[in-house]
Amino acid sequence: MEKKPHFLKALHWQIFFATILSIGLAILIRAMDLSPENQSAFRAPFSFIGDLFIRSLKLIVLPLVIVSIISGIQHMGSTSRLGKVGWKTLLYYLSTTFIAVTIGILIVNIIQPGVGLNLVVEGSVGVKPTPILDVFREIIPSNIFKTLAAGKMLATIFASFLFGIGLLSVGEKGKPVADLIDSLNAIVFKIVGWIMVTAPAGVFALFINTLLDPKLADLSIFFENLFLYMVAVIAGLGVHGFIALPLILFIFAKRNPFDYFSALGPALLTAFSTASSSATYPITRERTIDAGVSREAADFVLPLGATINMDGTALYEAVAAVFIANAIGIDLSFSSQLIIVFTATLAAIGAAGVPSAGLVTMIIVLEAVGLPPEGYVLVVAVDRVLDMCRTTVNVWGDAVGAAVVDASLKKDASL
């Protein structure tokens, strides 16, 4: 029998202990009542290490989004399938993700986690959100090289989509590029793995820097707010997973949500424990087909869904962005919230189906509304638990999508 690796080898445990350690150290330093100068001198090296970590995340986010979208589309098979079921599938992906984000935004506005914390996160002064029309306009890049150099994520997502569909359309001729994308995919994932190895150190440094912020008068208030933030994410996921998606399933696929949910049980549990839609995909496929969905619908909706249809991730990114804005004392206007809805939908498309991918692409949402990417540190400590929950909703959303597309294919066939 294969020996189970020691639990300390698991990254999420390392991050967890790094967080606990940083809280312990922060409490100790705070008890020493240092002068403000000494406290900031103490923070300086941590701020430096944290910066290195954030920079490496930002370094990888662009290649990650590009290869993950192109390879997701590439694995759909052929464009003839794309024409027949593609539009329905895309419509399903986009509308359900949009519904999920809207639920998240509503709930986070009711719970309002983070309000009154007034933290200072590096880079949080003088931020200005882009006007909403510009956000829409800039989705179509006028110069792809400038877009890439400036790290404009939404335009990059759009261009990658277009490229992926083009690649699929040329069939055999695209084979060398398709192989190249596959191998780039493997390389980028390897590098992400390396960066994530440094996450415990990065999280430790970033977290301690935040907890020693002189403006944070009381640590317990911070944790109360962090807890409220988790409540907001989990409540939103609950509403989407237990109410919105079952309703969609019932209305559009005429299926009993309870039966379908229990048929999908093993896939949902795997999603919860692995926090990876891609790793869960074989089980999702098997369970969906076993529940009576046609192979055609399952094989079209599920592989692409595992990398681009992420209702849970989109909802989570929106809630996290509002929490971060609240925590650093930025009051988001209605149009900024609209931008969040829109960018979270797209950023989730760009997230790969692997653990913590949503945490990386959240930077896209933060930057779109002018929030500092460093704000990410406020949520990273509790990310794993939320990742498990959002991945379960991601996979559930894919499975419901397969049933809906299947029902519509059967309806077309009977006409």
Binding site for ligand ASP (CB under 6 A): 275-277, 310, 313, 351, 353-358, 387, 390-391, 394
Which is nearer to ligand ASP, 74 or 276 (by Cβ)?
A: 276
CB of 262 to ligand ASP, least distance (A): 21
Cβ(236)–Cβ(108) below 8 Å: yes
Cα of first residue to Cα of last residue in the chain, in angstroms, is 54
CB of 392 to ligand ASP, least distance (A): 9
Which is nearer to ligand ASP, 280 or 294 (by Cβ)?
A: 280
Rounded CA separation 115/303 (Å): 39
Question: Could you tell me the CA-to-CA distances from 318 to 139, 142, 236, 345, 347 in Å, in that order?
Answer: 19, 28, 11, 9, 10
Rounded CA separation 355/196 (Å): 10
Q: Which residue is nearest to ligand ASP (CB)?
A: 358
Which is nearer to ligand ASP, 89 or 278 (by Cβ)?
A: 278
Which is nearer to ligand ASP, 261 or 316 (by Cβ)?
A: 316
Which is nearer to ligand ASP, 287 or 390 (by Cβ)?
A: 390
* Cβ atoms within 10 Å of 221's Cβ, excluding its own: 12
Which is nearer to ligand ASP, 124 or 288 (by Cβ)?
A: 288
Q: Is 190 exposed, middle or buried (0-12, 13-18, 19+ CB in 10 A)?
A: exposed
CB of 275 to ligand ASP, least distance (A): 5
CB of 57 to ligand ASP, least distance (A): 13
Rounded CA separation 323/111 (Å): 10
The string over 238-268, giving b where at least 16 C-beta atoms fall within 10 Å of a residue's C-beta and e elsewhere, is ebbbeebbbebbeebbebebeebbebbeebb
Which is nearer to ligand ASP, 343 or 356 (by Cβ)?
A: 356
CB of 396 to ligand ASP, least distance (A): 11
- Tell me which H or E stretch contains 17: helix 11-31
CB of 271 to ligand ASP, least distance (A): 7
Which structure tokens are listed for 217?
Answer: 């008068």
**Contacts of residue 137, Cβ cutoff 8 Å, sequence gap at least 6:** none
DSSP string, 295-338: HHHHHHHHHHHHHH--HHHHHHHHHHHHHHHHHTT----HHHHH
Which is nearer to ligand ASP, 97 or 277 (by Cβ)?
A: 277
Which is nearer to ligand ASP, 19 or 356 (by Cβ)?
A: 356
**Contacts of residue 385, Cβ cutoff 8 Å, sequence gap at least 6:** 230
CB of 73 to ligand ASP, least distance (A): 17
Rounded CA separation 321/108 (Å): 10
CB of 386 to ligand ASP, least distance (A): 8
CB of 362 to ligand ASP, least distance (A): 9
Which structure tokens are listed for 247?
Answer: 């309703």
